[in-house]
Amino acid sequence: MRLLFLSVWFVVMAAEQPIPYSHKKHVAMGLECKGCHTMPGKGEAATFPAESTCMQCHEAVKKESAAIQKLTAYAKKKEPVPWVRVYKLPEYVWFSHKAHTAKTECARCHGDVGAREVLVKEKPIDMNSCMNCHDEHKASNECNFCHNPA
């Protein structure tokens, strides 16, 4: 029952993304997380890759695939693929990727992404999970640290 439930759940989640992108396949090719999630500027956001990054390969690779044709259409229109967000904080929380990835692995907050065909929110990003790790690392848990930074 549990397995059946899980597989239905994964199918539902997979159907949500506009293009069935697989981290498992692409990370297995040796592509690096930060090659696609470049953390520009101050690095608050990890960001999603530009479609031109995908097209470096997909101009030629799998051109016959319907999914790649959809990707190519976005790239031609210079429109970002409308990826459905998996991890999203409310606006009133301050978070910086660059500050965190200096000292912690992506997997700590996002799980073993390179092993996943489809991403789901498998790790919590609620206030308790933030505070527990801040305690562990002796980082601040002052309210303003995350809610109203100077």
Q: Helices 51-58 and 66-77 meet at what angle, rounded to 10?
A: 130
CA distance 112 to 114: 6
Question: 67 or 73: whose CB is closer to ligand HEC?
Answer: 67
Q: Please, what is the minimum distance in Å from the beta carbon of residue 118 to ligand HEC?
A: 7
Name the CA radius of gyration of the chain, rounded: 18
Question: 1 or 48: whose CB is closer to ligand HEC?
Answer: 48
Whether 32 and 112 have beta carbons less than 8 Å apart is answered as: no
Whether 48 and 80 have beta carbons less than 8 Å apart is answered as: yes
Question: 1 or 17: whose CB is closer to ligand HEC?
Answer: 17
Q: Please, what is the minimum distance in Å from the beta carbon of residue 6 to ligand HEC?
A: 18
Q: Please, what is the minimum distance in Å from the beta carbon of residue 104 to ligand HEC?
A: 4
